[in-house]
A = this chain, B = another copy of it.
Amino acid sequence: MSTTDRELRVGMVGYAFMGAAHSQAWRTVNRVYDLPARARMALICGRDAAKVADAADRLGWEAYTTDWRELIARDDIDVVDVCTPGDSHAEIALAALAAGKHVLCEKPLANTVAEAREMAAAAATARAAGVRSMCGFNYRRVPAVTMMRQLVADGRLGVIRHVRATYLQDWIVDPQFPLVWRLQRDRAGSGALGDIGAHIIDLTQFVTGRRITGVSAVTETFVKERPLPAGSSGLAATVNGAGAADGHGAVDGHGPATGTVTVDDAAVFVARLDGGALATYEASRFATGRKNALRVEINGSLGTVVFDLERLNELEFYDATRPAAEQGFTRILVTEGEHPYMSAWWPPGHIIGYEHSFTHQMRDFIEAVATGADPAPSFADALQVQLVLDAVTRSADLGSSWTEVEPALATVAA
């Protein structure tokens, strides 16, 4: 533990799946890493007083409020952690930045490009005043992913030729699964595309250091009508789904009425990256048997890396510069002290889990805030992901026609 007494007093908005994951990370990060500041779980915010009180007690927050504006207004909060559905990201984050709070905002940054542009602009402005902001693409901090980035950056893959990325789940294959908020465009922005497709867009661009420049996309909603969740008036669907054990906002029962699914069940697209690589992307919630199958393979002229989130402690690396008879995919167990983030954890071979990616994210965020550095990914980085999502949607809407990704720099120019 550092000798510093500096505290970062965190106020978190939202307490469902992401709220639970962030809480576990805030609680753990200073117990594992020696950092220049210590996070204090000061305040949690949710709309339902009883539920947020319970969440505060269960997750270990000192106090709670039902008003996020109050949370932002308080002097004794340094960091605002936005864990709400995407439709409220912009409003909360903009207010927090305006109030001089450092902001960590869950992905996708926003539900629209316009919001994301506004947020990126606000972050740039706030930065001049020493205010830090970061978007929560936590998978960048899976040690194997960070290591992939290093291998590419070190030139070990040579010229990137191919990216193939899938993020596959299967939790709505059953047509009787109810119409939760994640299946509604007004709340979620999009379906598989924004929820999980955003992760593979960010991850592959991060690892390769290359940007997607154009796409040709197809999206589909396989099941167009679903039963309404039981008691699903107003916020009920969201609130019912707030348990940590259920990350997707499911509810046990549902009424007889049905509603229309307004988001994509699956999105597939081919893409080009700057630098000349071809890429394929697929995000789906209809891949039976695939639970959290974020898989990425990147082929370069000198080597290949392969990652699978369901085996996140492993990285496969093919080094084509090795002697011909000894080439092959090396399964690296990314649990050595030499690997990113791992020296603070357990001995080699003692694996870590999904939640550790958030602990690593908090580590880097705290360090950046405490030392006055810019954490990554910035809101501008997240805007660029949003622009790719937007190009995918536009291409799909236009019968898969080739669609260029709008430059993020337009924001700056504006």
Binding site for B on A (CB under 8 A): 1, 17, 21, 23-24, 27-28, 31-32, 34, 54, 57-60, 147, 161-162, 164, 166, 168-171, 173, 216-218, 220, 222, 244-248, 266, 268-270, 272, 276, 278-280, 282, 284, 286-293, 299-304, 309-313, 317-320, 324-333, 335-339, 343-356, 399-402
- Which residues of B sit under 8 angstroms from A399, Cβ to Cβ? 401-402
Q: A280-B280, A288-B300, A304-B290 are in contact. Are A1 and B332 (CB under 8 A)?
A: no
Given contacts A324-B338, A330-B330, 4 further A-B contacts (CB under 8 A): A171-B348, A288-B303, A310-B313, A346-B355
A337 and B338 CA atoms in complex are apart in Å by 34
Q: Is the CB of B162 within 8 A of A287?
A: yes
- Which residues of B sit under 8 angstroms from A291, Cβ to Cβ? 333, 335, 347-350
A303 and B301 CA atoms in complex are apart in Å by 28
Q: Is the CB of B169 within 8 A of A166?
A: no
| Copies of this protein chain in the complex | 4
Q: Is the CB of A310 within 8 A of B351?
A: yes
Q: Nearest B residue to A302 by beta-carbon distance?
A: B288
Q: A270-B218, A292-B349, A351-B310 are in contact. Are A329 and B326 (CB under 8 A)?
A: no
A343 and B343 CA atoms in complex are apart in Å by 30
Q: Is the CB of A161 within 8 A of B349?
A: no
Choose among A246, A339, A355 the residue with the greatest number of B CB atoms under 10 Å from its CB. A355
Q: Nearest B residue to A306 by beta-carbon distance?
A: B289
- Which residues of B sit under 8 angstroms from A244, Cβ to Cβ? 32, 344-346
- Which residues of B sit under 8 angstroms from A338, Cβ to Cβ? 324-325
Q: Is the CB of A222 within 8 A of B276?
A: yes
A312 and B222 CA atoms in complex are apart in Å by 31
A402 to chain B, nearest CB (A): 4
Choose among A338, A352, A354 the residue with the greatest number of B CB atoms under 10 Å from its CB. A354
- Which residues of B sit under 8 angstroms from A60, Cβ to Cβ? 31
A7 to chain B, nearest CB (A): 14
Q: Per a CB cutoff under 8 Å, which of B24, B304, B319, B344 touches A287? A: B304
A197 to chain B, nearest CB (A): 13
A312 and B352 CA atoms in complex are apart in Å by 10
- Which residues of B sit under 8 angstroms from A328, Cβ to Cβ? 289, 317, 330-333
A302 to chain B, nearest CB (A): 7
A135 to chain B, nearest CB (A): 20
Q: Per a CB cutoff under 8 Å, which of B326, B346, B401 touches A317? A: B326
A147 and B323 CA atoms in complex are apart in Å by 14
Q: Nearest B residue to A323 by beta-carbon distance?
A: B338
Q: Is the CB of A162 within 8 A of B266?
A: yes
- Which residues of B sit under 8 angstroms from A302, Cβ to Cβ? 288
A303 and B329 CA atoms in complex are apart in Å by 16
A194 and B46 CA atoms in complex are apart in Å by 50
A226 and B245 CA atoms in complex are apart in Å by 49
A217 to chain B, nearest CB (A): 7
- Which residues of B sit under 8 angstroms from A345, Cβ to Cβ? 244-245
